[in-house]
Amino acid sequence: MNDRKRPSIVIWIGPVLIGLVGVYRVTQSPSFPIYRVADILQLLGSGLCFGAALVGVIFWLGRTRSSPPSN
């Protein structure tokens, strides 16, 4: 039996771990207290939008390649 949920969980774990390592490195930086809350929120929002767009493009490319050619 093919379990379709398992690959999606694995796909999410990698980026989350990489993101957590990045956040940890930034918080350990000596210049971390200098960052303003507005700047941090803007960076998080930009990253979220970029990530959503990237996932959308990947799904779009995967769907167009797997669909049969129309005549």
Handedness of CA 9, 10, 15, 18 (dihedral sign): positive
Q: Determine the pLDDT at residue 38.
A: 92
Domain that holds residue 51: 36-71
In a domain, residue 60? The reply is yes
The domain total for the chain is: 1
In a domain, residue 57? The reply is yes
In a domain, residue 42? The reply is yes
In a domain, residue 62? The reply is yes
Q: Determine the pLDDT at residue 68.
A: 63
In a domain, residue 46? The reply is yes
Structure tokens at 34: 């200098």
Please tell me the pTM assigned to this model: 0.54
Give residue-wise pLDDT tens across range 49-65: 998 999 888 888 888 76
Yes or no: say if 13 and 5 are a contact pair by the CB < 8 Å rule.
no
Q: Distance between CA 15 and CA 9 in Å, rounded?
A: 11
Residues of the chain with pLDDT under 70: 1-7, 65-71
Q: Which residues contact 51 (CB under 8 A, 6 or more apart)?
A: 15
Q: Determine the pLDDT at residue 43.
A: 87
- Give the DSSP H or E segment for 65: helix 37-66
